[in-house]
Structure 1
Amino acid sequence: MACSLNQALPDAGDREEVTTDERGRLKALEQEVRELPQANEILRKASAYFA
C-alpha cells in the first residue's frame, strides 16, 4: 500500500500527528462506541424479559 509523505512523517515519529496504526485503532474504537448503545438496549430488554 502506498502512503503519502504527509502520513509517512507521523509514522516515522517526525511529527505530532496520528500515525496509521493509531488511526486504525481510533476507527475501531469509534465503531465500538457506536455499537455499545445498541448492545446495551438488547441487554436491557433481555433483562426485563427474564425478570
Structure 2
Amino acid sequence: MTKKIRTYSTEFKGEAVKKIADNNGNVSATAKQLGIAMQTLSNWQNKANECKLVGTKQYDPELMAIIEENKRLKRDLKVAQEEREILNEEG
C-alpha cells in the first residue's frame, strides 16, 4: 500500500499560518479546519517564525540566501578538513 504525499502551494501555507492567529493561536483547531495534519501546520508555523516560509510576510529571501551559503561553506570546510587530515597522515 503506497501512501500519497500531499503537496501544498506556498499561498496555501501562508494563509494557513495566518489562520492560526484567527483561531487565537490554536494550531490543532486550525489544522482540523483545514483538513491537514497538526504537525504539518506546526512545522509551517515554525518556519514562518524563523522567516523561512515562502508566502508569509516574515519570509526573508536574503536570510534564506545567507543560510544556503552558510550550508555550502560548512560542507566545503568539512571537505577541506578531511583532505588536510589525509595529507597529514601521508606526510
**TM-score bin, normalised by smaller chain:** 0.5 to 0.7
Q: Does 1:28 align with 2:82?
A: no
Q: Indicate the residue corresponding to 2:27 in structure 1.
A: none
| In structure 1, C-alpha distance between the alignment counterparts of 2:82 and 2:65, rounded to whole Å | 27
| In structure 1, C-alpha distance between the alignment counterparts of 2:87 and 2:64, rounded to whole Å | 35
If the length of structure 1 is used for normalisation, what is the TM-score? 0.53
| In structure 1, C-alpha distance between the alignment counterparts of 2:75 and 2:82, rounded to whole Å | 12
| Bigger relative CO (Cα 8 Å, ≥ 6 apart) | 2
Letter in 1 for 2:70: L
Hey, which of these two has a bigger chunk of helix by percent?
1
Q: Looking at CA atoms only, which structure, 1 or 2, has the larger radius of gyration?
A: 2
Q: Indicate the residue corresponding to 2:82 in structure 1.
A: 41
| In structure 1, C-alpha distance between the alignment counterparts of 2:88 and 2:66, rounded to whole Å | 32
Identical columns (%): 11
Please identify runs of 4+ aligned residues in structure 1 that moved more than 6 A: none
Question: Cα RMSD between the aligned structures?
Answer: 1.8
Listed one character per residue, the Cα deviations across residues 1-51 of structure 1 (whole Å, up to 9, x for unaligned) are xxxxx36x23xxxxxxx411100000001112222221111000111222x
Local SS of the residue matching 1:44? helix
- Structure 1, unaligned stretches of length 5 or more? 1-5, 11-17
Q: Indicate the residue corresponding to 1:3 in structure 2.
A: none
